[in-house]
Structure 1
Amino acid sequence: MNDKLINPKNVKAQQFVQTYSFMSGIKKFREKGKEAAIDEVKQLHDRIVLRPIRIEDMTQLEKERAMESLIFLTEKRDGRLKGRMCANGSTQQEYTNRDETATPTAMTESILITGTIDAKQKRDIMTADIPNAFVQTPVDKQKVGERIIMKIRGLMVDILVEMAPEIYADYVVIENGKKVLYVIMLKALYGMLQSAMLYYNKFRRDIETIGFKVNPFDPCVANRIVNGKQHTVVWHVDDLKSSHVDPKVNDEFLKWLENKYASDNVGKINAVRGKRHDYLAMWLDYTEEGVLQVDMRPYVKSMIEDFPEKIGTSQNPWTEKLFQTDDKSKKLEKKKAKDFHIFL
């Protein structure tokens, strides 16, 4: 990268967030971990993301295709602990059309080109992220046989039943000695293959209603004319960048975003204004008038520091572990092993 694009001043290294499986997180954080999980499940319940269904009301195909639920605990950079419930959507790959899941994201070139235009035209810049974007997005397929079913097990079942016994208690079944709750997905959830595409379509429709036209070369860039000047929005899933020469246009756009996507139940829009923006692992710096300075060194540094293996130089593209085997490791399932080929 050209040195002119790098701002060496006031750089703080970004740190990766630490994510734990639910059981590992509970062992590490104990009651604090359980509280984070409860908060996450409560949010999904309050937002009516899922609805319980009796096992006899599902088709055989829906039972076979039911996704497993997962929950992770994430320790944020500021020390906060957050639960994240998601679906194991890998089972959807066998029967889901790729066109329903291949979601466009903003090209790096688009971010840099629009950023350069922002600098040259001295635009006001706003970056923002939509809170809980997926779970604000309705799932459109609700016909019998086409519904998206998720299977919740163990402690998560207990949390839901304790939270709203009148809704969930009668739907709990026992499978292999464990409590199981089947639910219909009413809104998108992280992990579902369709979630990102559902949200993309929703966000695109929403901004088109207020005059934006999507760029024919990048479907994650859109423009409209406000007060005779161009208003540009670039978005990468739920992270967006908005720019216009008049700061009041961004003020009004932020109000629109808040009315559309923010609430006490969902969360606030986290918006940043000013000359420096931490956007998609890049620092976009507009401190020098008319110039965009881009710096990814903190991100690269954090990757090197947090990488589980020691990073150095090598004379060969392999390590001493290449031919080591672990006799105690779990064998591949027959179905996966059939498609797994090793060439010697």
Structure 2
Amino acid sequence: MPQDDDEARPTSERHVPVLRERCVALLGGGVEAARAAGRAPVVVDATLGMGGHSEAVLERFEDVTLVGIDRDEQALALAGARLAPFGDRARLVHAVYDEIPDVLEDLGLDGADGILMDLGVSSLQLDERERGFAYSYDAPLDMRMDVSRGQTAADVVNTYSAEDLTRIIRAWGEEKFAGRIARAIVEAREAEPFATTGRLVEVIRGVVPAAAARTGGHPAKRTFQALRIEVNEELDVLERAVPAAVDALRLGGRIVVMSYHSLEDRIVKGALQERSRSSAPPGFPVELEEHKPELKVLTKGTEVPTAEEIDENPRAASARLRAAERIRVRSQR
């Protein structure tokens, strides 16, 4: 299939990493802690994408081993080409990011000094039309981040009940017209099963009031988000991934997470706050070592891109960054 102009551009030009300099600076604290402890620094890019953040880390820190994880084999291939000049300092793995501890163990590494998660759908997935993530052009209704397995968005819209569709569109898309969208989908599929994004967009347009579309953005935006989250089990994975990442951090290591909607940020905030509080029972006279916090939160609330960064990369506009440092490692019993 011929590539459009965007798909033909080099990966480094197609992908502008969100909050790149800030992410690298935060991860750098973990790298310095590793050096001070006399160990070789390891940084995990848990959502590799097209490798922009990983490239910046490898360029900035010449002694870092970078472990890149992605469930998308196409992203791994593109990032592999981009990171090839760094040789065996870049070790790329086809996996989901809640598998960080297993990936490190398989590579013979006993932990990480920095872990980056850039959540949500990647630039690659949005730009590759045949993946079906975007509502702005017609494409097969797929939305899988790993096209080698799992149900597609077409499977969801063609088989889920109206009640289940309403539930996921309301919960994952935060869409107030979830019920009428779900009923319209079920009615339309009785005439013909859904196969493309374009037809789904038409059905959604037909039931979302024009006034709501004018103030709330594209009428299909929230439904597409909900379907993508459902197909890829994104929030379930995230709920497992943040605690697993913290467990994989060495002392002084740092976790940096960028989220793009409130559902993601709520999970990240809760996971980091839980591990940054004392676990001592209320009224306990002495805080024992095992009750002390494991994390120190490094960001006050969330950090956001500058206006200049958003001008350069409009997709960064909704990014929210949180970071924390491992200050205590549980004793092994």
More strand by share: 1
When Rg is computed on C-alpha atoms for both structures, the one with the higher figure is 1
Greater RCO, 1 or 2 (C-alpha within 8 Å, sep 6+): 1
**Fold shared per TM-score above 0.5:** no
More helix by share: 2
